[in-house]
Amino acid sequence: MKRTSSSIFSNVSGIFAIVLMGFPVYWMVTTSFKPKGDILSTNPTIFPHSFSLSNYVEAITKEGFSKALMNSVIVVFFTVIISLFVALFASIAVARMKFKGKRIYVASILLVQMLPLSALLIPLYLLLSKLNLTDKLAGVVLTYIAFILPFVVWTLRGFLVNIPTELEEAALVDGCTKPQAYRLVLFPLMAPGLVATAIFAFIQAWNEFLLAYILLSSQDKATMPIWLAGFTNRFGTDWGPLMAASTLTAIPVVIFFSLIQDKIATGVTAGAVKG
Amino acid sequence: MNPRRFKPWPYLLIAPSLLALGLILGFPVYKLISLSFERYGLAEIIAGKGVFVGLDNFKETFTDPEFWKILERTLLFTLGMVSVSIIVGAWLAHLMVKMHPGIRNVLNGVLILVWAMPQLVSISVWRWLFSFDFSIVTALVNSLGFEMDNHNYFVNTLSGFLIIGGCVAWGALPFITISIYAALTQVPKDLIEAAEIDGANPRQVFRNIILPMLLPVYIILISLSTIWDFQVFSHIWIFLDSRPSAEYYTMAIYAFQKSFGLSEYGKGAAISLIMIFALIGVTGYYLRQMMRMGDE
């Protein structure tokens, strides 16, 4: 008796949460497919009754779309490749080797994650302008790498720790050198973790707004989030095209994210419950 | 194999990451500290170096009544968002265990969808929900019999902060809920069964088995949420059309305005530094916990 009443309560709360949490996303997608007249109405209807792609056409043909898409792809590509490469080396050292100063290294990696990004904007801006890297994609990539790196090192370390060392030791006994043991035994086992971490880095770089907003000033350097912020001007906001553009920006993240979310969630908690 | 022989490998492996972190994070931190002791305005930018003024920036900041108001507002805002998102997230996660699998899967899917929303997308959607013209929320309120046409929700700072905080909490809730739920499912079943056989009631099971096992997860989530919510910038900035009025200043916006708006980089740096110390104080426990894990 008690069991059923508590599960009814859970189910009702669950449905309530689904509606409440899902509504903004639902409203974004349905608005994006509404014709202008339906959007600019004082009596909006929850369920759309007509369908139009005009917002998408307007968003895609809006000035700067293809450029922003291109810039975002460039920034994301270099950020992911470089940070993964650098972090892979570091995570092997942290997870598999004993060395003096490891504690300090780990502490600084974690401390850096706690640095509020907005507090570092001032010196970062001044530093990059001295290096002549403001308003250049390279400057943005450089800062993204540094900000993503600690998380990537920490996550890869998590995946590595879960691979038993006995496997490499067996390879060493069988006559492999240490680099061979890593290449032939460790890396293949790590592949899923590497992919998950790469996707995570991709999402971070794709979504980042603040640094790009400060560092990039000219319009043809804008990344996707900056382009999105540009829908509001002194005359107001074009809600239909903005919702279409938002949907387009979210789609790649949703696809990639749904592939890795279980790994990220357990990654955060696994070590904690065990430790 | 002599264990005392110096092994260069680990150092070579961490060198590239140290280089990147040192250049892009280490140096700016140093620069932030030195800037906070300098007068650094437009004249100093052109000259390429600041003028040392000792503790003046800190003195002026701490004697500015505006600063204390902003600090209080930031702390309240952070506390509100962290407690709401942690409590609701925990509550939802515990309910998810008892939900019908179908409902649970749909909820999980919705949470992941929300989790995946880029920050700028979620801000844009929430601005649309509460927009000045033709917003769905205004229409819903109107349909309840109120007359709210063309209501600007941001004239009143309380409703403005509630909406901004709602948007932040909406974005943070999926991570919190799913993390707690994942941790809950990792609590060994036999442990709970053993306790039940020994006569423990549900409350005792929760207090003596589930809670202690989840405590580290809660600590991590609370610390991370505090770090994230304390420095919320983009939400406030974009909700208020890139020119928030003084009643909407939080620490992050304040430091930004001081430096990029008024070109008083030294003072902005001092405020940023105060922010960092406030955060380290609040989340020191998290750091120690994580360091213990790094040692294993």
Among candidates A44, A229, A271 on the partner chain, residue whose Cβ is nearest the Cβ of B136: A44
Closest CA to A79 of A212, A187, A193, A190: A212
User: Tell me, what's the pLDDT at A275?
Assistant: 30
Look at residue A273 in the predicted model and tell me its pLDDT.
40
Distance (Å) from the alpha carbon of A168 to chain B's nearest alpha carbon: 17
pLDDT tens string B224-254 = 898 889 989 999 999 998 889 999 999 999 9
Position A68 confidence tier, pLDDT thresholds 50, 70, 90: very high
For A149-210, give the DSSP string: HHHHHHHHHHHHHTS-HHHHHHHHHTT--HHHHIIIIIHHHHHHHHHHHHHHHHHHHHH--H
Chain B: nearest CA to A192, how far in angstroms? 19
Contact B99/A10, CB-based, under 8 Å? yes
Q: Among the listed ranges A160-174, B239-253, B282-296, which one has the minimum average pLDDT value? A: B282-296
Q: How confident is the model at residue A50 (pLDDT cuts 50, 70, 90)?
A: confident
d(CA B83, nearest CA chain A) in Å: 18
More confident residue, A224 or B7: A224
Residue B291 has pLDDT above 90, yes or no: no
Residue numbers in B near A11 (CB within 8 A): 99-100, 103
pLDDT of residue B186: 82
Confidence class for position B140, pLDDT limits 50, 70, 90: confident
pLDDT over 60 (residue A2): no
Looking at residue A265, what is its pLDDT? 57
> Does residue A99 have a pLDDT over 80?
yes
Mean pLDDT of A197-209: 90
What is residue A184's predicted lDDT score, i.e. its pLDDT?
A: 86
Q: What is the structure's pLDDT at A158?
A: 84
Whole-angstrom distance, CA of residue B33 vs CA of residue B51 = 14
What would the pLDDT profile of B190-203 be if each residue is shown by its tens digit?
888 888 888 888 88
ipTM, interface predicted TM-score of the complex: 0.86
Poorest-pLDDT segment among A86-100, B2-16, B53-67, B158-172: B2-16
Minimal Cβ distance to B120: which of A146, A161, A228? A228
- B168 in A contact zone (CB under 8 Å): no
Residues B128, A6: C-beta atoms closer than 8 Å:
no
What pLDDT does A263 receive? 67
For A234, nearest residue in chain B (alpha carbons):
B241
Indicate the SS3 state at residue B132.
coil
User: Residue B229 corresponds to which amino acid?
Assistant: D
Chain CA centroid to CA B28, Å: 21
Q: Phi and psi for B38 in degrees, rounded to 5?
A: -120, 155
Kindly list the residues from chain A whose CB atom is less than 8 angstroms away from the CB atom of residue B149: 42
Residues 6+ apart with CB under 8 A from A79: A141, A144, A145, A148, A201, A205
DSSP class per residue in A219-271: GGG--HHHHHHTTEETTEE-HHHHHHHHHHHHHHHHHHHHHHHHHHHHHHHHH
Q: Report the pLDDT value the prediction gives residue B174, as an integer from 0 to 100.
A: 93
Q: Are B99 and A7 in contact (CB under 8 A)?
A: yes
Residue of A115, A125, A151 best to disrupt the B interface, most CBs of B under 10 A: A115
Q: Quote the crossing angle between the two packed helices A239-274 and B157-186, to the nearest 10°.
A: 40
Nearest to A272 by CA among B110, B230, B229, B224: B224
Interface mutation target, options A3, A21, A157, chain B, most CBs of B under 10 Å: A21
pLDDT of residue B296: 52
**Widest Cα–Cα separation across chain B:** 83
| Residues B72-87, mean pLDDT to the nearest whole number | 94
Residue B208 pLDDT > 80:
yes
Q: In B, which residues are within 8 Å of A75 by CB distance?
A: none
Alpha carbon distance B117, A28 (integer Å): 11
Distance CA B171, CA B126 (A): 11
Q: What average pLDDT does this structure show over A94-110?
A: 87
State both tokens at A251.
Answer: 């789609």
Q: What is the pLDDT of residues A74-88, one digit of tens each?
A: 999 999 999 999 999
Q: How far is A34 from chain B (nearest CA, A)?
A: 13
Pairs of residues, one from chain A and one from chain B, whose beta carbons lie less than 8 Å apart: 310
What whole-number distance in Å separates Cα of residue B19 and Cα of residue B100? 51
- Is B116 within 8 Å of A92 when comparing Cβ atoms? no
Query: What band does B1 get if pLDDT is binned at 50, 70 and 90?
Result: very low
Output the pLDDT for position A266.
57
Mean pLDDT of chain A: 86
pTM score of the predicted model: 0.87
Q: Which chain A positions have a beta carbon within 8 Å of B269's beta carbon?
A: 122-123
Do B185 and A274 meet the contact criterion of CB atoms below 8 Å apart?
A: no
| CB-CB neighbors (< 8 A) of B39 in chain A | none
CA distance B200 to chain A (A): 16
List CB contacts (< 8 A) between B112 and chain A: 257-258, 261
The whole-number average pLDDT for the span B62-72 is 94
Backbone angles phi, psi at B133, to 5 degrees: -110, 135
Whether A209 and A226 have beta carbons less than 8 Å apart is answered as: yes
From A13, A14, A112, residue closest to B21, measured CB to CB: A112
For residue A153, which of A206, A107, A205 has the smallest C-alpha distance? Answer: A107
Beta carbons within 10 angstroms of residue A169's beta carbon: 12
The residue among B280, B98, B244 whose CA lies nearest residue A7 is B98
Residue A103 with chain B: CB contacts under 8 Å? 291, 294-295
Which of B31, B134, B233 comes nearest A123 by C-beta? Answer: B31
Contact (CB<8Å) A102/B10: yes
Residue A96: per-residue pLDDT: 86
Predicted local confidence at residue A1, as pLDDT: 38
Query: Which of B35, B276, B294 lies closest to A116 in CB terms?
Result: B276
Nearest residue to B112 via CA among A263, A79, A100: A263
The nearest CA of chain A is from the CA of B154 a distance in Å of 15
Q: Is B126 on the interface with A (CB under 8 A)?
A: yes
Checking if the pLDDT of A259 tops 90, the result is no
Window B:48-107, CB contacts with A under 8 Å? 92, 95-96, 98-100, 103-104, 106-107
| B92-136 tens-digit pLDDT | 999 999 899 999 999 999 999 998 899 999 999 999 999 887 888
Question: Measured between CB atoms, does B7 come within 8 Å of chain A?
Answer: yes
Chain A contact for B115 (CB, 8 A cutoff): yes
Does the pLDDT of residue A230 top 70, yes or no?
A: yes
